[in-house]
Amino acid sequence: MRTFGDWMSWDDARDALAGRLSAEDVERLDAAYAFATDRHAGQTRPAGEPYTYHLLEVVEILSTALNVTDADLLTAALLHDVVEDTPTTRTEITQRFGPRVAELVDHVTMPPTPPGDDRAAARHRYLSRLRDLPADALRLKLADRYSNVQRLHTHPRPAKQRAYYTETCHYLAPLAVVDSRLADLFTEWQHAYQHLAQPPPSAGSGPADR
């Protein structure tokens, strides 16, 4: 199963992208990364690594696995969580990075759950509408999800591992047909983590209790 994470810093990413993009596009990404780093300051992933590692992984997946050279899409990859996870607004993204980047970010942003609404139902609606996304936004969302689940075993909560596996298999993996390279990644991932599809052992059973 292929995993991503070779780009541990923006310097690593910048060096790799410099051979794929124009100097002007790289400068745009410089600004987007600086903005995202500021907005996500202090945030970490479930396994404890800095949040920026996830942003770098999403760009790495798009760039190296899918050969994306669309600067707007790569910029949106760096910014894809700023509206959902920080006080940043779509208007601010539009003003700083342009309407197409803002639209891409908006496509993959889960809206706030309305007061009194069921959170699980709201998440179901969000995930269900992903099938209607334009192809570029769907590639972004799938790269985001692959980064989130490629090392699913490192999540500190086994119940969350199983829930995330089930959700990904049900809602996201079928959408990977948008790009055969993504389809291959998710097929290999599902096989690698297929043990999470099994229910957890019941209390009082298993070798530890013999």
Residue ranges per structural domain of the chain: 10-199
Q: What residues contact residue 197 under an 8 Å CB cut-off, 6+ apart?
A: 162, 165, 166, 169
Q: Which two tokens stand for residue 76?
A: 């949106």
184 carries an active-site annotation:
no
pLDDT at res. 113? 87
What is the C-alpha to C-alpha distance for residues 155 and 9, in angstroms, rounded to an integer?
22
Q: Which amino acid, 78?
A: L
Over residues 73-132, the pLDDT tens digits come to 999 999 999 999 999 999 999 999 999 999 999 999 999 988 888 999 999 999 999 999
pLDDT at res. 83? 98
38 carries an active-site annotation:
no
Write down the H helix ranges in the chain.
Answer: 10-18, 23-39, 51-60, 71-79, 82-85, 90-97, 99-108, 119-129, 135-149, 158-167, 180-192
Burial of 5 (0-12, 13-18, 19+ CB in 10 A): middle
Active-site position among 84, 117, 118, 184? 84
- Mean per-residue pLDDT for 32-38? 98
Q: Say whether domain 10-199 belongs to CATH 1.10.3210.10.
A: yes
Q: Is the pLDDT of residue 13 over 50?
A: yes
First to last CA, the chain: 35
Q: Is the pLDDT of residue 203 over 90?
A: no
Place of tokens 């800095």: 50
The pTM is what?
A: 0.93
Active-site position among 85, 92, 106, 167? 85
Q: Is the pLDDT of residue 210 over 60?
A: no
